[in-house]
A and B are shown apart, each in its own frame.
Chain A
Amino acid sequence: MGSSAPTLDRDAAVFAEHSAPVAPSPLPAPTASPPSLTVDLVHVGRTFGERTVLRDVTLQIRPGEVIAVLGSSGCGKSTLLRQVGGLDTGHEGEILIGGEPVRRYDERTAVGFQEPRLLPWRSIRKNVALGLPRSLSKLEGRERVDELLQLVGLSDRAHLRPREISGGMAQRASLARALARRPGVLLLDEPFGALDALTRLKMQDLLLDVHAQTGTTVLLVTHDVDEALQLADRILLLGPAEPAQEPGGAPEGATISRLLTVPGRRPRARSSAEVTALREDLLSGLGVEAHSR
């Protein structure tokens, strides 16, 4: 079959990639950077049957902004994200993307899921191509996929199937697929949650690179306080409303319990004094007190 030589080449490439941090090669020329869009949430809520999950979320997101949504598990972070992407309909209030109401599976947004969700029978290249908008010609599509594979550092892996690559690579492929339609708003649902700590740090750097090159608005759901502090312009903490504000105790459902602006330009040092204070604040907001000494 004569497959030994290509295998060696691949391994050499992997080794080179591994020894440097995941440093995506810059795009040849940032071709017509996509318009980043605003997201306006006006009194957004979501109720499943009897159970209210989200309540009265109001927020304006500027184009190109990175917003991290923090909250304890099951508090409705993903629900909020799914409303913005039109994956789930039936919300209360108004969600506007670029000033227009959100549509079902809104094509102006793209979602990166917690799991890579790649089609196992397709090569990485064809999985990324899945995200291309229908209007694109074949040639344009090929060029864009090439560009994206280069951006996420998977050019030499493009022919492999998802099961033949690692979890971190699969997540990079998933990110490339989400970027293929040049979304105005990129929605990421704990995209690095299932990765090991080291790979997660590399993926965070990759996301910052992607953001620097595309300028897209990013809504990032995470349960990792440090990830939020590292990546976001603002952090939205979802949680129960203060009982004092409402007569008769806190109503059911999570809402914005805090909205913080993270100081400093990215990439941020992972441990400045300011950030440390914010971390304590956020952790206490999540009900973790033991860290203050």
Chain B
Amino acid sequence: MSPLHTQSPSHDTPGSNVAAGIAAEANAEQNRVSDPHSGDAGSAQTKPAKAPREGLNPLAKFAVGSVVPVALLALWWLVTESLEIFSPIQLPPPMDVYEAGVGLFESGLLAEHMSISLQRVLLGFAIGAGAGLALGSLLGLSKIADHLLHPTVGAFRAVPSLAWVPLLLLWVGIGEDSKVLLIAIGAFFPVFTSVHSALRHVDPQLVEAGRAFGFHGIRLLGTVQLPAVVPPVFSGLRLGLAQAWLFLVAAELLAAAEGLGFLLTESQNNGRTDRLLLAIVLLALLGKLTDALLGVIERKALVRWA
């Protein structure tokens, strides 16, 4: 695993090509819409191209997005190294954190912590999101399944997910399985809820039009219902991924011998505030990176289906 901090300035670029494509499309649409001669007068359906943020080119967008992080970094440096308002135990200066990172990287521990955390999140998210998609589709499409299962699922959702921790430790043990399972529980509910409610609220007029033209059952699902829920499902997936990271830290804070959450507790116990901050920065970067990857897939899907 390469040191992530060297990649950090470019963590947004995988999406930039797609973003450029979308921006170009939006511009083309804007031209068409603003043309006074374009078509019939009844243009109630044509919406003006939205989202002024898509109007910025990717480079400018990236520059604007970096303003606040850079300013925060400068402020951090100012109050520690320059003005010395905080002691290094309270808030170590940026260079200390960087050096802590280099030290950990050279000892090989950094890669170990990061890879095990990433593995737990991805595995837990895959299991939880998969289950959420499956159960959400079932309950969203079948009235009988909905009546039968929704009250139960709703009751389980009402349990704060961390409340499962003692039970998981008791039943599954303290190893990898219980952590992955806890993350899966965290990722499951946002995905389930978004799929379920999106399928319940697919425009009934479109569904009826589909039926009127001879579509039913699985063909109706593939032609009308599934494409219609692509945007909300992706919002649910991204929420689920954020939840997965949340529950990763919870799981690793409670019982772990490696991982970024473990790095947090260990650094706290040893008074290594520099490493503690490093773990937080790495969590932010990894979380943003995985979210950005999902965002790239989402944009591709939205161009196709929305």
Contact A166 B39 (CB under 8 A): yes
Q: How far is the CB of B178 from chain A (nearest CB, A)?
A: 41
Contact B41 A87 (CB under 8 A): no
Query: 8 Å CB contacts to A: which residues of B29-73?
Result: 29, 31-32, 35, 37-47
Contact A170 B45 (CB under 8 A): yes
Of listed B31, B35, B43, B216, residue having the most chain A CB within 10 A: B43
Contact A194 B227 (CB under 8 A): no
Instruction: Kindly state the separation between the CA atoms of A199 and B210 in the bound complex, as whole angstroms.
Output: 26
Count A interface residues, CB 8 Å.
45
**Does chain B have a CB within 8 A of A15?**
yes
Contact A168 B213 (CB under 8 A): no
Contact B206 A166 (CB under 8 A): no
Q: Using Cβ atoms and an 8 Å threshold, which residues of chain A touch B208? A: 87, 117
Instruction: Kindly state the separation between the CA atoms of A273 and B38 in the bound complex, as whole angstroms.
Output: 38
Contact A113 B38 (CB under 8 A): no
Instruction: Kindly state the separation between the CA atoms of A37 and B299 in the bound complex, as whole angstroms.
Output: 47
Whether A113 touches B43, Cβ cut-off 8 Å, given contacts A7-B31, A11-B35, A15-B37, is no
- Which of A14, A18, A130 meets B213, CB within 8 Å? A130
Q: Using Cβ atoms and an 8 Å threshold, which residues of chain B touch A167? A: 40, 42-46
Q: Using Cβ atoms and an 8 Å threshold, which residues of chain A touch B216? A: 105
**Does chain A have a CB within 8 A of B304?**
yes
**Does chain A have a CB within 8 A of B182?**
no
Closest A-chain residue to B212, C-beta based? A111
**Does chain A have a CB within 8 A of B7?**
no
Whether A168 touches B212, Cβ cut-off 8 Å, given contacts A11-B35, A119-B227, is no
Query: 8 Å CB contacts to B: which residues of A5-61?
Result: 7, 10-11, 14-15, 17-18, 22
Q: Using Cβ atoms and an 8 Å threshold, which residues of chain B touch A131? A: 213
Whether A166 touches B212, Cβ cut-off 8 Å, given contacts A7-B28, A119-B206, A199-B40, is no
**Does chain B have a CB within 8 A of A258?**
no
- Which of A85, A111, A162 meets B45, CB within 8 Å? A162
Contact A3 B28 (CB under 8 A): yes
Whether A169 touches B227, Cβ cut-off 8 Å, given contacts A111-B212, A134-B214, is no
Instruction: Kindly state the separation between the CA atoms of A168 and B40 in the bound complex, as whole angstroms.
Output: 6
Closest A-chain residue to B40, C-beta based? A168
**Does chain B have a CB within 8 A of A1?**
yes
Instruction: Kindly state the separation between the CA atoms of A162 and B47 in the bound complex, as whole angstroms.
Output: 11
Return the CB mask of B219-230 against A: 1 if under 8 Å, else 0: 000011001101
Query: 8 Å CB contacts to B: which residues of A151-171?
Result: 162-171
- Which of B38, B209, B230, B305 meets A117, CB within 8 Å? B209
**Does chain B have a CB within 8 A of A280?**
no
Contact B212 A105 (CB under 8 A): yes
Q: Using Cβ atoms and an 8 Å threshold, which residues of chain A touch B304? A: 121
11 contacts between A and B (CB under 8 A): A7-B31, A14-B35, A15-B37, A87-B208, A113-B209, A130-B223, A164-B46, A166-B39, A166-B41, A194-B44, A195-B40
Q: Which 9 A-B pairs have the closest CB atoms?
A: A168-B40, A167-B42, A166-B43, A117-B209, A199-B42, A168-B42, A166-B39, A121-B305, A167-B44
